[in-house]
Amino acid sequence: MPVAIFDLDNTLITNDSDFMWNEYLVEHNLVDPLAYEEKNRQFYEDYQQGTLDINSYLRFSLQPLTQFPLEQLHQWRAEFVQQMIKPLVAPGTPALLEQHRQRGDTLLIISATNLFITEPIAQLLEVPHILSTVPEIKQGRYTGDFIGTPTFQQGKVTVLQDWLQEHDLDLDGSSFYSDSHNDLPLLELVEYPVAVNPDQILLARAEELQWPVLDLRK
């Protein structure tokens, strides 16, 4: 059974959910607004430039989760998804996902954004499988650490290969949709890579290799 793999941020949705969650924290004064927003923007610029230190970023982004009980975090997260993420689903996303469902493909989102944020978004999009960096929970609270390999750059390939083995699947006939040059390791691995609203580096690579370029925002 072919696997249809999708990046999330700026691919299936029209903004970055990780960045938006941090903005939500700032807007609701759940973090130090000035210091946190400045760091958030700097990390996002690093991501766009392909220079992000993923371990430093994860320490930054997971730390606020340690400050609140799970029940309260889940309430805020539900509000965040409803108010800030649902309107950002790209217009072409539902039809693309349905196309792969009709083909009988296994649908999978793989995202560098951590699972606390991505899991309810995958549920919103009715995508049954999600691979994201897993935040650690001990004694009912987030620790600020993460489990396993971060799903970023080559880490997406590592985590995906483990998942395929666990599910007795392979990449025959597989496709991967992404907007970011950070995903080139996985795009170059699948049978049908697709650049979705690509950044300039990815667009140049897609044109060089004659990959399809898709605009889900129309």
Q: Structure tokens of 208? A: 């060089």
Beta bridge pairs of residue 109: 6, 130
Given the residues 7, 16, 179, 183, select the one marked as catalytic.
7
Contact 1, 104 (CB under 8 A): yes
Cα separations in angstroms, 20 against 24, 36, 105, 161, 206? 6, 13, 30, 29, 28
Contact 176, 187 (CB under 8 A): yes
Side-chain half-sphere exposure of 67, counting CA atoms within 13 A: 10
Burial class (CB in 10 A: 0-12, 13-18, 19+), 83: exposed
Catalytic residue check, 32 = no
Given the residues 9, 16, 18, 179, select the one marked as catalytic.
9
The C-alpha torsion from 126 through 3 and 188 to 185, rounded to 10°, is: 60
Contact 51, 57 (CB under 8 A): no
Rounded Cα distance between 138 and 77, Å, is 20
Catalytic residue check, 183 = no
Contact 195, 178 (CB under 8 A): yes
- Residue type at 52? L
Kindly list the catalytic residues: 7, 9
